[in-house]
Amino acid sequence: MMKQGFSLSISRRTITLVGLVLTTALVGACGSDNPTTTTPQPPRGILVLDGFIQPGLTFLGDTGTASTKLALGPSTEFDAGGFTLERDTVLAVSSRGAGDLLYITDVRASTFRRLQLPPRSNPSRARLFRGSNGQSLIAAALRDSSAIALVAVTGAGTPAITRIPNAGLCPTDMFQYDNATWVVDANANCKANYAVQGDVRLIRIPNTGTTRDTINVTGMRGSGASALVIGDVAYLSAGGDASFASFPYTLLATGSVARIDLRNRRVQLTRQMPAGSYGAGTKLGLDGFLYVSLYENLSAFAGRILKVRADDLSFVTNGATPFLDLKSAAGAAVNCGSGQADAFGRLHCIQNGTGSVTSLVVFSPAFQEVRRVLAGQGGVDMALRP
């Protein structure tokens, strides 16, 4: 992923990591301008994933400057562009170029375990699942195998891995709903060059029986598609399509976010990202709004954030453009990457500066910077512990 203050060659796989910013806590708020009925609480902590240079997790508190670092391995074995936080468990995967690995971190104990996924399977994302017998499982989307891996882990023993085959051309995410596994298919040639082949699809694979359903999300393009689920609604996001064969790069399609009615299996709304932008990494804020991280354009790769209402996917703006106008304490513009707001509406995001040194930056509900703390090096994603 392109970082501020860090230079590297551009590849389609590298850029598609914009779409891999993963969902954190899922809550039932609907993202309106009405105040919530419960008393907001500060997050229990903040996690920042350093995906390159010094791969690992940095743990921070809601106040102060203290932090702790959990190293996850060398960059040759860890290249995750994002992570999933569920019930104090962090899940991250490394692609085929870094060994097809699954990382399971216990946030409370600050320990992790590394497991081998099927070789050359090119995993995209992992989530906690529940087996038909109540067994705890970890699901991983295997892009190059067109399958979903179901990993059963018992103690320190060897994990047992089964597969759901024929899960799309390039499965990049999955979730469980109504006795079925739902697979987000990026519909891209992930085995070769990540070239987009068509619109993103959502495939319903029932736990029993053979009848499958496919929802085509018209106009949604991107090889890093993902989902987050709130009740009976899934929000799909994909970062768009572009050619990186030579500079200047060519944008073929902007990213988008879609609202899917799971009960009736239909697309309710689709919102395109601002013209010229690339990316659509989507998180659910603890205030009930969606926060979308993306690049403003394909020339400067300035990281920007959108605040989106969950009910109608409209943008909440505080300036002349759809992007949030974030200001430093001195009034200067601030660009940053992966972001999420807490229950008070305070946006937290990460920024990579000189030498890719990462800072966690916190903004007031008026989007003025109120806190900045070092958070490792090579940051690619963050999440709040609700």
Preceding omega of 274 cis (within 30 degrees of 0) = no
Domain with 364, as residue range(s), is 12-30+75-385
Check residue 12 and report its DSSP letter. H
**CA atoms lying within 13 Å on the CB side of residue 291:** 32
In angstroms, the Cα distances linking 204 to 174, 214, 260, 296, 363 are 10, 6, 12, 33, 39
Q: Give the CA angle between residues 316, 322, 327 to the nearest 5°.
A: 85
Q: Which residues pair with 309 in a beta bridge?
A: none
Mean pLDDT of the 362-377 span: 97
Examine residue 356 and state whether it is found in any structural domain, yes or no: yes
Is the C-alpha dihedral spanning 374, 335, 42, 20 positive or negative? negative
Examine residue 42 and state whether it is found in any structural domain, yes or no: no
Nearest residue to 58 (alpha-carbon basis) of 21, 98, 110, 102: 110
Residues 6+ apart with CB under 8 A from 134: none
Nearest residue to 218 (alpha-carbon basis) of 262, 270, 173: 270
Q: Please provide residue 344's backbone torsions phi and psi, each rounded to the nearest 5 degrees.
A: -90, -5
Residue 128 and residue 62: Cα distance in Å, rounded?
26
Examine residue 277 and state whether it is found in any structural domain, yes or no: yes
For 192, the token pair is 């070769």
* Percentage of residues of the chain with pLDDT beyond 70: 90
Higher pLDDT, 357 or 14: 357
Nearest residue to 281 (alpha-carbon basis) of 382, 159, 362: 382
Examine residue 5 and state whether it is found in any structural domain, yes or no: no
Examine residue 66 and state whether it is found in any structural domain, yes or no: no
Higher pLDDT, 26 or 263: 263
User: For residue range 302-342, what is the model confidence (pLDDT) as tens digits?
Assistant: 999 999 999 999 999 999 999 999 999 999 999 999 999 99
CATH code of residue 121: 2.130.10.10
Number of structural domains in the chain: 1
